[in-house]
Amino acid sequence: MNLLAIRAIYRYEMSRFFRTLLQSFVSPIVSTSLYFVVFGAAIGSRIDQVEGVQYGAFIVPGLIMLTVMTQATSNASFGIYFPKFTGTIYEHLSAPVNFLEITTGYVGAAATKALFIGLLILATAHAFVDLDILHPLAMLAFLVLTCLSFALLGFIIGIWARNFEQLQLIPLLVITPLVFLGGSFYSISMLPEVWQRIALFNPVVYLISGFRWAFFGQADVAVGVSLGAIALFTLVCMGVIWWIFRTGWRLRQ
């Protein structure tokens, strides 16, 4: 394992993140505050509790998941796409590093950025609602796994994309709708029985359910199933990345 190469890629990606502190930190705080004003105050005044949890607190896990998934995907996709765009990807491919080291550097940096933002949103939520976390270690584990898995997905998107427009296609048209339909602001038990069954085909449901269990001890699906779903998703993404580097698909074009 070439730790020097991993460190170089990781530090370069993180330096780009800290050069845009205003966009990286202020924007999530403002967006989260607006969500709390609209959903927590306006809708929360009409919905007192959901499954025994104050509505303003109930939406916190969903808000964190929404931002973490999109941020991890976007950061990882842009991180690997930019070397493709400038042609410096060939330096990575010709250097004495393997696909695992390249992936670790880019995905690790993207996951770290998303983790920072997720923790920042969690801190911001405390300013609006009283929030107790029943299983803090499980919460952190779900958060880290989500950051890593969606950073891997973003890495794949960055290699697949042929232009900057395609970089935003999957996060905007796929991930964000799945999060909104995955019980981020409601429990799927509130849906009609038919839609509850349909919602189980949404993979984001399992992530949000497990993450919400870490906060309140309540879940729409079993916690073990949620862990299995995120583990399977991570393994599939790793398998796709291994195939991409083995075949050179869209890396040498």
Residue 8 covered by a domain:
yes
Residue 253 covered by a domain:
no
Residue-level pLDDT at 205: 93
Residue 50 covered by a domain:
yes
Return the structure tokens found at 63: 């808000």
Count Cβ neighbours within 10 Å for each residue of 40-75 and write b for 16 or more, e otherwise. beeebeebeebeebbbbbbbbbbbbbbbbbbbbbbb
Q: What is the pTM of this model?
A: 0.93
Residue-level pLDDT at 41: 67
Residue-level pLDDT at 206: 92
Whole-number Å distance between alpha carbons of 207 and 175: 13
**Count of all residues that appear for the chain in the document:** 253
Q: Helices 99-125 and 27-35, interaxial angle, to 10°?
A: 50
Structural domains counted in the chain:
1
Range list of β-strands (E), the chain = 49-50, 53-54
Residue 252 covered by a domain:
no
Residue-level pLDDT at 88: 87
Residue-level pLDDT at 236: 95
Return the structure tokens found at 218: 């309540």
DSSP state of 200: T
Apex CA 246: angle with CA 243 and CA 252, to 5°? 105
Residue 23 covered by a domain:
yes
For the chain, 253 residues long, give each residue's pLDDT as a single digit of tens.
Answer: 789 999 999 999 999 888 877 777 787 778 877 887 777 667 766 777 888 888 888 999 999 999 899 899 999 999 999 998 888 888 888 888 899 999 999 999 999 999 999 998 999 888 888 888 999 999 999 999 999 999 999 999 999 999 888 888 888 888 888 988 888 888 998 888 898 888 888 989 999 999 999 999 989 999 999 999 899 999 999 999 999 999 989 887 6
Tokens 């359910």 sit on residue? 209
Residue 218 covered by a domain:
yes
Residue 120 covered by a domain:
yes
- Neighbouring C-beta atoms of residue 140, cutoff 10 Å: 15
Q: Structural domain of residue 95, as residue ranges? A: 3-247
